[in-house]
Chain A
Amino acid sequence: MSDLLTAEAYAEEADVRRFPVLRAILAERSARTGLILVGVVVLAALLAPVAAALTGHGPDQQFRSEALAENGLPIGPSAHFLLGADGNGRDVLVRTLYGARISLLVGIPATTLALVAGTAVGLVAGFFPGRTDRLLSLGTDVALSFPFVVTALSLVALNRGGDGEPVVDPVLLVVLVISLFAWTYFARLTRGLVVVLRNRPFVEAALSIGVSRRRLIVREILPNVLPVVAVYWAVQLPVNILAEATLSFLGVGVQAPTASWGNMIAEAQRSSLYQVQPWFLLGPGIAMFVTVLGFNAIGSGIRNVLDPQG
């Protein structure tokens, strides 16, 4: 009887631990809002070619006679160009949707790469106190001390071989540059968590029965760290999407004529065309706002659920 009760109680508790976490997250209002917003952005990115097919406007296609006045000024929103045109007679809506692809294509791999690298460094640094920790932490601090924009600009500038061709695909390079800076935050976070976990009884117990250190890190510590790091992934993602926009804005990220939100905003601003065609600026601007808001809402929602005190 009592055995049965105990077993049931355990099973129930396990249930509450596993599935309901997801359910609790879904029940959390800001997380739900965030998921919906991000879902919209992902859907928009996926459906960009559909929008292009429906309107008949390719992302880089110019409609100079239809969408530009004789003096070169773009038209505003109309039935054919829902958000109007840019300075080259291209459809702002279609380009904004394609821009979402670049943002996600750069943001997600960059943040994931940073997560993997940062977590690995943090695990090792946290688990091996002494010289290893000091060295890795010092490396992290050094990496953190580099100013992002200046360093990124020089790295991207170096990416031109003797023959003038980029050595690495510019999009890939932007991913690498962003993760080069973002991993440090994951490393610090993970190290802090591991330092606390390392002295917990279950770690000592595992050590005392002779579990290898590698197994201990992978099987015992990592699972405890991952949820927090995952939340941080959602927090860091919008930051990295903005970083891509910053680099493109400065002219070293995604190259013309490929549409990216940073490129589009830079073009609208440089050419002052936002004064006559505000949607040239508002289209990518609002899209970026929605994306960042969505991921931030997800991040804060997950944190509310996993760490109500925090």
Chain B
Amino acid sequence: MKNSVRKTTIMKKTPRERRPLLSLLAASACAALLAACAGPVPPDNPGANGGTGGGASDAAGGGAPAAGGTLRIASLQSDLDALDPLTGYSTDSWEIIRALTRQLVTYPGSAKDIKDDTTLVPDLAKSWDVSKDGKTYTFHLRDGIRYSGSSTREIVAGDFVYAIKRFCDPNKQVAAINYFQLAFSGFRDYCEKFAKVPPGDPAKSKAFIDSHDIPGVSAPDDKTLVLRSDTKNYDFLSILSMNFVSPLPEEVAAKYVGDSLEFRKNYPSSGPYQIASYEPGRSLVLKKVPGYDHAGDPARKAYVDEIVVDFTTNSEDAVVQKIQSGDADLSLYLDVPPLSTIQQYQASNSPYLHSSDSGAANFITINARPEATSPGAEALRKLKVRQALAYAVNKANLVQAQGGKIAARPLGQIITSTILGHQDFDPYPTPGNAGDPEKAKQLLAEAGYPNGLKLDAVYRVNAQFETIAVTLKADLARAGIELNLIPVPPAQSSAYLQDPKSRWDVFLSASFAPDWQGPSTRMLLGGWLDSDAAPCGTGNVHAICYDNPELNKLAAKAFPSDDPGPVWAEADRLVSADLPWIPLFEKRKVAITSDRVRNWTWSSLATQADITNIAVGPAR
């Protein structure tokens, strides 16, 4: 079954990746499972980074990695879901886009843990000034940094202005517009006007972009970019670290509609790699930009000369076999390696099994859009029914199905453990996290469903999500909740959930990964769930359509705060008890690599390997 997943829409970055985060339990898991967990923490010689050398004899992950070689990636999917920085919003597309684009600021990667990659460093901006009121940022760009590929001119501040003006192009809207509605002065007005431009004609979009300005986004000269907000935002720089705010040369980008094959083949790269060849279904070859200016890029060491993504391995089994046999070094679109593979790596105490807390989580979303009037959807509007669902779920079983402690831990709240404002609690605890069917039945009876409830349950078809679906079906049946499973191919699931006519009450395969680690609480509590930022309608993630004025007030209080943690914690307690979705478990990211991989690095943004900082050496 192949599928080129497409998760554009406002879907967020998670669909594909999944690996929970186990946080503290990890420590004990690691102890028990040996080395596996901490990941190749620099073994013997903790060398520096440096991009030279030829020996290639460092230990797996430590030492001074040798530059050169080819990093080979086996992709489970037959194509990338996105490559345009405007629309890429999945952890896997972000992994590749990181090699092809640069931003104003970024995260440099961490050898130890995804959640440790929280230090923002200058990227294309060499420095910036913040106004006293905290609302205006003035960025000073580096000199002499050029595009590669379809353009080779120098990157200027106007390229950022153009990229941001593209955000609300009716032909292809930026994937996470909710961040930007609140970020730039005048952005909302600009977008309302842009929405009136008829889609389908790139020339009309170009004319609009050329003739309209966003008051909060300007470039006084080629090296200076000024971004202004109506309010102070403590996470403003973090928002700019996402690939949406990448410079694009208008003379190239304006020629193509959206993320087309033509665009991908004529990609104007601002990163250390450029596209050498691209054949969907076969391979993507990235070559290092000749004479890349390493001094001007503190975040991406770009050790390898070439990155090859192989799109021909379309089963989990085939992907891990390629890695085990040394025909590939990394995987792409593989949420979690098969259990048996993890177990093999653990048993041999392999340094090529990496696992890290990631703050990602899985949950059950509920179809709350007003058009949903099925008996199941109506029932789920009652808090007691949602509580019954929360009590009926057996989280221990789901954690086990994910691979046990190395891979997941039960979750009962919205905010996960690597995110600002997290305070561990579960408003609906059950003994051993194994569910409480009796309590669930009682709540259902009180809500008016003494004979149980039947729900149409959509799930994404792949090995993992099918396991979750059949496990939930078995466990919820004990509480009198019958799930009518409706499988949907991954490539169609976003569209299916977005279509108001689709029939579904619950979506069993919902997941998210933090857009960045640490202060990213805005993504959920100030984004998906905040009806000011994400009103119900097209683009509302998974049709969550949650509307809680109390939460909106708390979010508005948190954004400009100097100490937003406690505010978010309060919001989390409020919303978690109200169950806009049913939390299931938090995932750790688990990855396996070949024995050629050196200098293992996690990326906060991609929530997995940082291919711009990994090196390769001879097989051991």
A residues with CB within 8 A of B: 60-62, 64, 68-73, 87-88, 157, 162-165, 250-251, 255-257, 267, 269-273, 275-276
Contacts and interface: CB of A to CB of B under 8 A. Distances in A.
B486 A72 contact: no
A88 B471 contact: yes
Interface in B65-86: none
A112 B342 CA distance: 46
Contact of A276 (B343, B397, B401, B403): B343
Interface string B388-429: 000000000100111111100000000000000000000000
Contact of A273 (B339, B406, B488): B339
Interface in B433-462: 456, 458, 461-462
Interface stretch (B314-322, B520-528, B560-568): B314-322
B487 A163 contact: no
Given A60-B470, A267-B463, A272-B317, A71 B503 contact: no
B317 A163 contact: no
Contacts of A64: 397, 400-401, 471
B466 A256 contact: yes
A73 B467 contact: no
Nearest to B394: A64
A270 B400 contact: no
- The prevalent SS among residues of B at the interface is helix
Contacts of B342: 71
Contact of A251 (B1, B338, B470, B473): B1
Contact of A272 (B341, B467, B487, B503): B341
Contacts of A73: 339-340, 343
Given A73-B339, A165-B503, A276-B340, A88 B461 contact: no
A273 B338 contact: yes
B485 interface: yes
Q: How large is the interface on B (under 10, 10 to 19, 20 to 34, 35 or more residues)?
A: 35 or more
Contact of B501 (A70, A157, A163): A163
A70 B396 CA distance: 10
Contacts of B471: 62, 64, 88
A163 B458 CA distance: 12
Interface string B312-343: 00011100100000000000000000111111
Nearest to B502: A164
B496 interface: yes
A186 B523 CA distance: 61
B404 A72 contact: yes
A105 B16 CA distance: 36
Contacts of A60: 470, 474
B474 A164 contact: no
Contact of B404 (A70, A251, A270, A271): A70
Given A71-B339, A271-B338, A272-B340, A256 B485 contact: yes
Contacts, number: 105
Given A251-B461, A255-B487, A71 B401 contact: no
B474 A61 contact: yes
Contact of A62 (B341, B469, B474, B503): B474
A164 B456 contact: yes
Nearest to A60: B474
Contacts of B489: 157, 251
B483 to A, nearest CB: 10
Contacts of B406: 71
A298 B342 CA distance: 45
Contacts of A269: 315, 317
Interface string B24-40: 00000000000000000
A71 B403 contact: yes
B470 A250 contact: no
Contacts of A257: 470, 473-474, 485
A270 B317 CA distance: 6
B463 A72 contact: no
Nearest to B459: A256
30 contacts: A64-B397, A71-B339, A71-B342, A71-B343, A72-B339, A72-B400, A72-B401, A72-B404, A88-B474, A157-B489, A163-B501, A163-B503, A164-B456, A164-B486, A164-B496, A256-B470, A256-B485, A257-B473, A257-B474, A257-B485, A269-B315, A269-B317, A270-B317, A271-B339, A271-B340, A272-B316, A272-B320, A272-B340, A273-B340, A276-B339
A70 B470 contact: no
B339 A164 contact: no
B315 A256 contact: no
B397 A62 contact: yes
B72 to A, nearest CB: 20
A251 B487 CA distance: 9
A195 B8 CA distance: 59
B585 interface: no
